């Protein structure tokens, strides 16, 4: 439910909470846009930009200012996805952001029925948290997407619920004992939108505004605590783009001793030619920040990029197949209450998922598993019939040598002699 009433102007306190200048935004200069072409071409040319991944890509390209006919099919696919009834709340929120991005108000009104659907899905998340120890149906990254989309496109939500569930100490901002940078970053974007909306409409009290401001400040500090001092990455290479967006919009946190924006930008640019963003979703999440844009710009047509890129609309160059005679051997383990292990032989260049498939052929009872396709690729949902459960905060963790891997099951390339493990865990 949305705010039920408006309060009168709260004078100097309200004025003091009006966002000041955000953190210094560093961005790629126009003359260096060519360095971003690999990201653009990855998104446009990929054969794997399907489903909800298409919404991420469309959102990013529109923020970059690319509005030409090459996006026609992509836009239609996202429209079709928006009508599916089985979307999670966060997936629907992403569809709304993508379809509404950089469009004028007349074009955006077409998608208002989706906002109504999102209001219902968001309330279902809230109700589930009330019944299951504060655990949402999905996760807090998606919940933050929900709030951001509802805020930007005039949906209804409760400030009291935002205050209750988005306190920085909430367990859902953590994955195990580790603070989730991308979740925190998306929450900062959502809360910043809420704060600006409260100020604009003079809704709620100065105390509520102060609470939201405190939440933003605390989350920013938690994000910066995860910064790599040597290269400036925040969390990891994949969470850095959204973290940069969050820092761009965070007022009164411009501490150059805590974050050197240019260092972070330089590191990311160095990683582009190395293939760090070869997945369309990875390219989509880093591009807006490199252009000085944030998801808060989606309904501000004048803030969208220029789109001055040299696009190469062509089929991606096929990767040379690995020689069938080149094989590697890895040790694979499933750990629940009991440990199940086997040796698996796969072609060089195989990913974690390939190992799991081969192990399943060896012993289906011990190594059977299921997965779903997500915007970041395959995601393991069950092993031996034991399913992940958001209410219990349980999931299947992927490890190498006892250390969690930094990529998904469909992207992590395995190596000869590696000790791989799938472990039943709680977060």
C-alpha dihedral sign at 241, 395, 140, 84: positive
- CATH number for the domain spanning 365: value is 2.170.130.30
262 plus 133 within the same structural domain: yes
- The residue with tokens 């009330």 is 130
Q: Model confidence at 427, in pLDDT bands (50, 70, 90)?
A: confident
Sign of the alpha-carbon torsion through 148, 153, 156, 159: positive
- Residues 176 and 103 reside in one and the same domain: yes
Same domain, 372 and 275: no
Q: Is 254 annotated as a binding residue?
A: no
Q: Is 174 annotated as a binding residue?
A: no
CA distances from 37 to 239, 308, 312, 407 (A): 21, 10, 8, 24
CB 50, CB 77: distance < 8 Å: yes
- pLDDT attached to residue 108: 57
Residue 396 assigned to a binding site: yes
223 to 162, 370, 379: CA distances (angstroms): 20, 33, 25
SS (H, E, C) 35-87: HHHHHHHHHHHCCCCCCHHHHHHHHHHHHCCCCCHHHHHHHHHHHHHHCCCCC
Query: Is the distance from CB of 118 to CB of 82 less than 8 angstroms?
Result: no
pLDDT of residue 306: 63
- pLDDT, mean of residues 119-137: 96
Binding residue per annotation — 138?
yes
Q: What is the pLDDT of residues 13-43, one digit of tens each?
A: 333 333 434 456 789 988 889 999 999 988 8
Last residue of a domain, one of 303, 336, 355: 303
Q: Whole-angstrom distance between the N-terminal and C-terminal Cα of the chain?
A: 29
Element (H, E) at 382: strand 377-383
390, 280: one domain = no
The residue segments making up the domain with residue 401 are 327-426
- Is 94 assigned to a binding site? no
Hey, which of 94-103, 156-165, 256-265 has the most confident mean pLDDT?
156-165
Which pLDDT score is estimated for 72?
A: 83
CA distances, 421 to each of 87, 259, 335, 396, 427 (Å): 30, 35, 7, 10, 17
**Percent of the chain with pLDDT strictly greater than 90:** 63
CATH assignment of the domain containing 229: 1.50.10.20
222 and 95 assigned to the same domain: yes
Q: Is 141 annotated as a binding residue?
A: yes
Tell me if 253 sits within 8 A of 23, measured CB to CB.
Answer: yes
Over residues 260-280, mean pLDDT = 93
Query: What's the domain count of the chain?
Result: 2
In a domain, 314, yes or no: no
- The pLDDT assigned to 240 comes to 97
Is residue 28 assigned to a domain? Answer: yes
Is 140 flagged in the annotation as binding? yes
Same domain membership, residue 403 and residue 295: no
Q: Is residue 30 part of a domain?
A: yes
Q: Is 182 annotated as a binding residue?
A: yes
**Cα 185 from Cα 219, distance rounded (Å):** 8
Q: Would you say residue 385 lies in a domain?
A: yes
Under 8 Å between Cβ of 376 and 342:
no
| Same domain membership, residue 135 and residue 171 | yes
Tell me the average pLDDT across 48-62. 83
Asked if residue 404 is part of any domain, the answer here is: yes
427 annotated as belonging to a binding site for a ligand: yes
* Residue of 221, 250, 293, 334 lying closest to 26 (CA atoms): 293
Tell me how far apart the 2 most distant CA atoms of the chain are, in Å. 75
Q: Is residue 309 included in any domain, yes or no?
A: no
Higher confidence at residue 311 or residue 340?
Answer: 340
pLDDT in tens, 227-268: 999 999 999 999 999 999 999 998 654 555 689 999 999 999
Of the three residues 269, 303, 337, the one that is the final residue of a domain is 303
In a domain, 11, yes or no: no
For the chain, state the CA radius of gyration.
Answer: 22
Distance between CA atoms of 281 and 286, rounded to whole angstroms? 9
pLDDT at 304: 76
Q: Are residues 238 and 358 in the same domain?
A: no
Q: d(Cα 270, Cα 375) in Å, to the nearest integer? A: 24
163/221 same-domain check: yes
Q: Using pLDDT thresholds of 50, 70 and 90, give the confidence band for residue 5.
A: very low
Query: Is 380 annotated to bind ligand?
Result: yes
Pairwise CA distance, residues 96 & 108, whole Å: 9
Computed over every residue of the chain, the mean pLDDT equals: 86
Least confident residue range of 74-83, 246-255, 310-319, 394-403 = 310-319
Least confident of 145-159, 181-195, 314-328: 314-328
Question: Which of 288, 303, 318 is the C-terminal boundary of a domain?
Answer: 303
Note whether 106 and 251 are same-domain residues. Answer: yes
Whether residues 332 and 253 share a domain: the answer is: no
pLDDT in tens, 367-422: 999 998 777 778 999 999 999 998 888 999 999 999 999 888 988 899 999 999 99
Token pair for 298: 């989606």
Position 320 in a domain: no
The strand pair at 327-335 and 178-179 is best described as unpaired
Residue predicted with more confidence, 392 or 312: 392
Q: Per-residue DSSP letters for 334-361?
A: EESSSEEEEEEEEETT-BHHHHHHHHHH
Alpha-carbon torsion (308, 310, 316, 319), positive or negative: negative
Residue in the block written with tokens 């846009």: 33
- Residue 340 scores a pLDDT above 60: yes
pLDDT, residue 110, reads 65
pTM recorded for the entire structure = 0.79
Whether residues 51 and 186 fall in one domain = yes
């Amino acid at each position: 439910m949305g705010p039920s009433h408006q309060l009168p102007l709260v004078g100097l306190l309200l004025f003091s909470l009006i966002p000041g200048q955000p953190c210094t935004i560093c961005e790629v200069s126009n003359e260096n846009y060519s360095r971003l072409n690999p990201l653009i071409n990855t998104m446009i040319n990929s054969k794997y930009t399907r489903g909800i991944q298409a919404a991420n890509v469309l959102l990013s390209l529109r923020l970059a200012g690319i509005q030409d006919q090459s996006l026609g099919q992509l836009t239609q696919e996202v429209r079709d996805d928006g009508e599916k009834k089985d979307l999670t709340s966060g997936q629907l929120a992403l569809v709304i952001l993508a379809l509404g991005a950089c469009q004028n108000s007349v074009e955006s009104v077409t998608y208002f029925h989706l906002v109504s659907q999102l209001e219902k899905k968001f309330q279902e998340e809230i109700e589930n948290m009330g019944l299951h120890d504060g655990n949402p149906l999905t996760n807090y990254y998606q919940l933050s997407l929900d709030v951001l989309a509802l805020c930007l496109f005039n949906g209804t939500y409760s400030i009291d619920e935002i205050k209750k569930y988005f306190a920085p100490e909430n367990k859902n901002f953590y994955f195990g004992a580790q603070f989730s940078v991308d979740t925190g970053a998306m929450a900062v974007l959502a809360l910043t939108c809420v704060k600006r909306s409260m100020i604009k409409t003079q809704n709620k009290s100065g105390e509520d505004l102060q609470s939201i401001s405190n939440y933003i400040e605390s989350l920013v500090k938690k994000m910066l605590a995860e910064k790599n001092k040597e290269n400036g990455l925040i969390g990891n290479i994949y969470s850095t783009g959204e973290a940069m967006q969050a820092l761009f919009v965070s007022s009164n946190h411009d501490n150059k001793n805590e974050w050197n924006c240019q260092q972070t930008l330089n590191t990311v640019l160095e990683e582009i030619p190395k293939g760090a963003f070869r997945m369309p979703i990875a390219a989509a999440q880093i591009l807006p920040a490199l252009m000085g844009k944030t998801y808060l710009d989606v309904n501000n047509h004048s803030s969208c990029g220029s789109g001055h890129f040299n696009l190469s609309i062509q089929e991606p160059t096929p990767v040379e197949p690995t020689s069938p005679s080149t094989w590697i051997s890895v040790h694979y383990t499933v750990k629940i209450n009991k440990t199940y292990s086997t040796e698996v032989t796969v072609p060089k260049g195989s990913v974690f998922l390939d190992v799991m498939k081969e192990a399943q052929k060896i012993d289906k009872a011990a190594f059977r598993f299921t997965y779903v396709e997500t915007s970041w690729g395959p995601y393991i949902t069950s092993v031996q019939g034991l399913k992940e459960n958001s209410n219990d905060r349980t999931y299947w963790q992927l490890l190498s040598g006892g250390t969690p891997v930094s990529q998904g099951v469909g992207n992590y390339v395995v190596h000869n002699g590696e000790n791989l493990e799938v472990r039943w865990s709680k977060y």
